[in-house]
Structure 1
Amino acid sequence: MDKVSMTLTIYFENPFWVGIFERVVDANLMVARIVFGSEPKDYEIYNYILKYDCQLQWSPSVSLDDKTKHVNPKRLQRLVKQQTQNVGISTKSQLALQKQQELKKQIHQQLKHQNKEMNAKKRFEMKQQKKKMKHRGK
């Protein structure tokens, strides 16, 4: 059976509030980043999760070390307290976001290159037509 867990971290990244969804499926971490704008209320976050959960763009998965072992309840309580006080995202999440950003950058560069080639080809054809029109005028 697959073990799936998902966490949401919201923090202020000047000038907007940003949410980081972290989803762990079978020791693979995937991350999605959302910009909320103004500070979101609890009910706004809940509504966002209900409406747009399936539309999140997840980053490529990053493997995690699956070390699940029994944790003392007091230690677990301390860990939860540390996580609630900790601001920001984990380094694995940062790596996943960085991969996603690099993929988007590569796609953008490919599209830009194709458009540039198409424009150059179009200009060349226009020049050729212009030459033919001038030649016919004699």
Structure 2
Amino acid sequence: MNIKLTLFFDGIIWIGFFERSDLGNYAVSRVLFHTEPSNQEVLDYILQHYTELNFSSSISNTDGISVQRINPKRLQRLVQKEIKNVGIGTKAQQALKLDQEARKLQRKSLSKLKKDEVAEAKFHLRQKKKKEKQKGH
């Protein structure tokens, strides 16, 4: 399992994106930091709150992450390249967007069901009143 944290400042608050990829699956979680966290604060947060992170639903990982050991110098270059890269990866944005769309569809379907139930209850109430009126009570 590979976990990556991307931390950036959006002009108001600090946002951290935890990206988790394992066995062809990719998931992302967003965390808000109100002030710029130090390295120690980030480490403490990971140790204490990692299990509480709410990751998005997994999407298939097309990167094909290799399990081979990477040369330490190459790894250092990759890390420096990632640090220079500003913003979040498009894959993280896509994962969050897919999760948001799924929640949106679920919320819409629930609200439609509630609306239909209320309409049906009103209809039955009108029918009941109409029958009582016909009976002359």
Alpha-carbon distance, 1:90 to partner: 1.4
Cα distance per residue 1:90-123 (max 9 Å; x no partner): 1222222222112111111111111111111121
Distance 1:123 1:102 in 2: 32
Alpha-carbon distance, 1:89 to partner: 1.5
Classify the secondary structure of the residue corresponding to 1:87: coil
Alpha-carbon distance, 1:31 to partner: 0.8
Distance 1:26 1:50 in 2: 23
Q: Give the corresponding residue for 2:31.
A: 34
Aligned counterparts, 1:60-99, within 5 A: 60-63=58-61, 64-67=63-66, 71=70, 73-99=72-98
Alpha-carbon distance, 1:6 to partner: 0.9
Aligned alpha-carbon RMSD (Å): 2.5
Q: Give the corresponding residue for 2:99.
A: 100
**Identity value in percent:** 37
Distance 2:84 2:65 in 1: 24
Q: Give the corresponding residue for 1:11.
A: 8
TM-score normalised by structure 1 residue count: 0.76
Do the aligned partners of residues 39 and 119 (structure 1) sit closer, same or farther apart at CA in structure 2, a change above 3 Å counting?
A: same
Distance 1:16 1:127 in 2: 53
Task: Count residues in correspondence.
Answer: 134
Gaps of at least 5 residues in structure 2 are none
Distance 1:113 1:79 in 2: 49
Q: Give the corresponding residue for 1:56.
A: 53
Alpha carbons 1:62, 1:96 under 8 Å: kept: no
